[in-house]
């Protein structure tokens, strides 16, 4: 589904990604782990189409040159990014925001828009699967939300938009154990044979709830080691310093 070949990214004269190679198959969940400054969030931003990077290499998603597409087109063909720090939008209702996002993607795909009354029923169905209070729909987007509520709202967006490739950029950041469990279980429920996930994280705790097929260690802008789920436990026990230069 996703193939990254010799990906480089630089900003303000500083190289962050340095020849990164990665392949994720359909239905697979891959975890990207690494220390601060390794390039994890840059990888997410580049794949999502954020401006400000000088990019080299090749990224193919479902047979399409991803780097040639606008961020809007990337979303339309099925890419979703859950932010590490979701933005608060006071005055914009959550229901309006979610329905607008869904219909924008449906228009790009040539599909009929979802009417407000139908969207309300659809949103409530998805929220039930995530154990979310329907009252969230009447609140402003992330305004006054706790860290856990913001991250759960991101997973609700993911559930509604039904992406082919979901990138979760440190979704576990700042969560207590209860919120981490709720978010992790929500992500796990969204596994699908035609949906791949890239989970970017510092720590292995989220991976106790979302079992990855592969774990990759990112250091100095490239993957230095890959392995099965047990690799996350090795990292927690021994840290990242012993991983450089291995494969």
Average pLDDT, the chain: 91
pLDDT at 16: 96
pLDDT at 242: 64
- Give domain status of residue 81, yes or no: yes
pLDDT at 84: 85
Q: Which of 1-5, 47-51, 70-74, 148-152 has the lowest mean pLDDT?
A: 148-152
In the block, residue with structure tokens 């250091």:
219
CA dihedral 147, 152, 155, 157 (to 10 degrees): -90
Q: How many CB atoms lie within 10 A of CB 234?
A: 16
Q: Which of 55-69, 149-163, 176-190 has the lowest mean pLDDT?
A: 176-190
Q: Which domain holds residue 33?
A: 2-91+163-238
> Could you tell me the CATH number of the domain that includes residue 81?
3.40.50.300
CA distance 95 to 89: 12
- Give domain status of residue 219, yes or no: yes
Q: Work out the pLDDT band at 245, boundaries 50, 70, 90.
A: very low
- Give domain status of residue 31, yes or no: yes
Q: What would the pLDDT profile of 110-125 be if each residue is shown by its tens digit?
A: 899 999 999 999 999 9
Structure-model confidence comparison of residues 41 and 175, the more confident one? 41
Task: Provide φ and ψ at 197, rounded to 5°.
Answer: -135, 140
In angstroms, how far apart are the furthest CA atoms of the chain?
56
Q: What would the pLDDT profile of 197-206 be if each residue is shown by its tens digit?
A: 999 988 788 8
- Give domain status of residue 116, yes or no: no
Q: Which of 51-55, 129-133, 155-159, 188-192 has the lowest mean pLDDT?
A: 129-133
- Give domain status of residue 147, yes or no: no
Q: How many domains does the chain have?
A: 1
Q: Work out the pLDDT band at 243, boundaries 50, 70, 90.
A: low
- Give domain status of residue 186, yes or no: yes
Query: Does position 168 have pLDDT exceeding 70, yes or no?
Result: yes
pLDDT at 247: 47
Q: What would the pLDDT profile of 6-21 be if each residue is shown by its tens digit?
A: 999 999 999 999 999 9
pLDDT at 20: 97
- Give domain status of residue 158, yes or no: no
- Give domain status of residue 70, yes or no: yes
Query: Does position 237 have pLDDT exceeding 50, yes or no?
Result: yes
Q: What percent of the chain has pLDDT over 90?
A: 72
Contact assessment for residue 101 and residue 157, using Cβ atoms and an 8 Å cutoff: yes
116-123 contact pairs (CB < 8 A, 24+): 119/95, 120/95, 122/160, 123/95, 123/98, 123/99, 123/156, 123/160
Output the 3-class SS for the chain. Answer: CEEEEEEEEEECCEEEEEEEEEEECCCCEEEEECCCCCCHHHHHHHHHCCCCCEEEEEEEECCEEHHHCCHHHHHHCCEEEECCCCCCEEEEEHHHHHHHHHHHHHHHCCCCCCCHHHHHHHHHHHHHHCCCCHHHHHCEECCCCCHHHHHHHHHHHHHHHCCCEEEEECCCCCCCHHHHHHHHHHHHHCCECCEEEEEEECCCHHHHCCCCCEEEEEECCEEEEEECCHHHHHHHHHCCCCCCCCC
């Amino acid at each position: 589904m996703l193939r990254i070949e010799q990906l480089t990214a630089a900003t303000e004269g500083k190289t962050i990604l340095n020849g990164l190679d990665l392949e994720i198959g359909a239905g697979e969940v891959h975890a990207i782990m690494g220390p601060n400054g390794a390039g994890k969030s840059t990888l997410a931003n580049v794949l999502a189409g954020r401006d400000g990077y000088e990019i080299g290499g090749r990224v193919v998603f479902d047979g399409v040159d991803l780097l040639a597409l606008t961020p809007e087109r990337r979303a339309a063909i099925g890419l979703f990014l859950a932010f590490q720090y979701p933005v608060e939008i006071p005055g914009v209702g959550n229901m309006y925001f979610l329905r607008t996002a869904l219909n924008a993607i449906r228009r790009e795909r040539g599909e009929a828009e979802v009417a407000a009354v139908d969207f309300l029923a659809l949103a409530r169905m998805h929220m039930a699967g995530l154990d979310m209070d329907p009252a969230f729909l009447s609140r402003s987007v992330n305004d006054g939300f706790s860290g856990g509520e913001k991250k759960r709202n991101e997973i609700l967006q993911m559930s509604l938009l039904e992406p082919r490739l979901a990138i979760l950029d440190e979704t576990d950041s700042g969560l207590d154990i209860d919120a981490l469990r709720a978010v992790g279980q929500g992500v796990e429920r969204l596994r699908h044979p035609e949906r791949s996930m890239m989970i970017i994280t510092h720590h292995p705790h989220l991976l106790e709830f979302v079992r990855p097929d592969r774990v990759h260690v990112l250091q100095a802008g490239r993957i230095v080691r890959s392995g099965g789920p047990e690799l996350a436990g090795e990292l927690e026990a021994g840290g990242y310093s012993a991983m450089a230069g291995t494969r």
